[in-house]
Chain A
């Protein structure tokens, strides 16, 4: 009883130490389909017990990478190691990883309990133990009452739970999930996200989760690996990738962001100053190729005032073009004097007098709330 609660944090602690002996290490993974490179040199360490999300638009290579982890697709180049052992050529049935497929891939000719019992039966577990484990697992995903039903009699959310139960019942070290929530409606999806998180916490299993939904990735993950065009764009905690995107793709893929092209960058006392449409803008210093760059600022980090705020480092004059009421937040579209559109996201009720279309305002933000991104990419 006493170590039940510490199981999850142990897993995370082990995850922290993964630098020394990576649990799973992908090195230089490539996958070619004829002339196209679905994956182009992916190197990524996965820590034991973490919830890692592979995020990217469709065709970015995230699912291909998951399939290579599972062993269903073989890499054209590169290697895969588990605790130092080369498993690049190990067939899927010998990897002992659980997998939840898009569309669930349940066995339609079996009952719910037979579906969940399948991996145990394959492992030669005797009937009594099997039954206990299956029923514990079904109870955990809230399907104890549906054990004898056929899978076709269940709703989408219930089928999803069967798929999860079946993938976790044999206590795999790794659970691979390929867009498991994409078929569910919004409410159910949010509920399942919470369940996934708690299942992951309790089961001490490494989750590798594929999605194209950035909000889902931010909610669920310990770390997010962002894919685009077969390349790994950035890996980091949700906060890292959202607050400190390394390039334009990551910045624009996660949430919304305003990009101001700036030129003539100069570094000075830990900050960099550049010119945007004749106005000097300041951001934290960053190693960049000389020349032009983008200054990026999230809509929620902008402030709106009637007059230029006293002492503001970054301030631009703009006019409100459109204000959309969204309950808790108000979304504004503004234009700078020279016509560059700017998105702004304010808490509802703040500065209500200013957010009428046509009104001239000042936009300002702290230098620490913005960052510089390289021009290309």
Chain B
């Protein structure tokens, strides 16, 4: 049973006092780095784990470890229950039915699964039902200019294999999507529209429902990269009406090595498999095989069972805290970040200015100081941020940069931490001897 935010005893908004209590569940946040208390502002890359997540994984290995979906012994049955209960929990967390959630290694693996399955539908003899996924010369796959490489390169490769053409919706200077260009680019030729829900660089939140309606109007399939949204805001894939969505466990308080792929049941059941082998078949002869329906159809080989149990514990932790409350708290932290950065000379924030809704993160350029040096300086103060291109080279190039520094928050960050980060950033340019107005 998942507790939704509405039923949670703490109905008011999150505040620093409650966040301090939340932090007690995350032992790693007590760490000292370079003699300073750790200020962890890199949750956009990977989040930290509460005790309940680590305990779920340990409990599985201590009490239930066994092979799932095979074997008649007691442990095998219990392990299968853990595994499938975890699926129900995580599926409910994103508003999906149990059979619509496929375990993957992470979001990257989920996107590759979709792209390779479409590719498999495009060559050789395929079933009538699978033909709707086939791509050929003249067809178009549409992405956006703000995509993470994980939602770009699999489509580049799919186009290379099938002869389809890759196009992209450009962004405005403030990082938001050019919706009038989208209206022109989404045509009868568009077969797939793949885009991110929330930009991992600018924090821009894309208008999913609007884009999805435009794509469906021309019969295109919609693939949503929910990597930066599933952990941070209430996600309901049915309400958004997308056809596929992917996310990574380690960005949402879960362990590494597990993620999820949502697909509408009728699509998953007719899509050709990607990885093949054990556990995903019905009848096998020396010549051919018949496949199980989803989700098993896409889960060849032994699955990440303890990780599934731990990811379910992570979803429970998030639901019990309340996704609406987490979203509101991070929105507040995001605005505090941007507003603070805007007040520091020589800083350019990527994405929308303060006052415009964004996720709880901010990437920025420091005039005269390379992002790598900024990150090193902040690390000496115990502050963990991400530096580089954040796996979004085309977006950085579009904004006239090679790299940037990103601070990204989560439910366990306090306003005090944001302020400590801002105070440290204010000292960067003088340390590197580039004071004065930006050139």
Q: Are A and B genuine complex partners?
A: no
Which B residues are closer than 8 A to A by beta carbons? none
Which A residues are closer than 8 A to B by beta carbons? none
